[in-house]
């Protein structure tokens, strides 16, 4: 079970990172964009670290309050949940 969760989180974070990079690329070229709800949603379902790293790496969405505050809050909440589950031996 732990291996499955780890693989899921790796994939979710890789997808989040790539989505932030693709959206930045599209923003620079005035192309169709990835909806903000999708970018925040992928963070919420486990890709928060990838989303945060994507924001920092691509300098994307760093001025938007929902992202500047929301993504780190989601990340901290997910880390807290993982620590809590790990400490319980789950």
Q: What is the DSSP string of the chain?
A: -HHHHHHHHHHHHHHHHHHHHHHHHHHHTT-----HHHHHHHIIIIIHHHHHHHHHHHT-STT-HHHHHHHHHHHHHHHHHHHHHHHTT-
pLDDT at 51 over 80: yes
The reported pTM is 0.91
pLDDT, position 16: 98
pLDDT at 90 over 80: no
Q: What percent of the chain has pLDDT over 70?
A: 98
Q: How confident is the model at residue 85 (pLDDT cuts 50, 70, 90)?
A: confident
């Amino acid at each position: 079970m732990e291996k499955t969760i780890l693989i899921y989180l790796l994939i979710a974070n890789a997808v989040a990172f790539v989505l932030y990079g693709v959206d930045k690329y599209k923003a620079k070229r005035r192309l169709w964009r990835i909806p903000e709800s999708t970018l925040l949603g992928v963070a919420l379902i486990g890709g928060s670290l990838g989303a945060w790293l994507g924001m920092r790496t691509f300098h994307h969405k760093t001025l938007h309050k929902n992202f500047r505050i929301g993504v780190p809050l989601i990340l901290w909440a997910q880390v807290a949940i993982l620590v809590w589950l790990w400490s319980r031996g789950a």
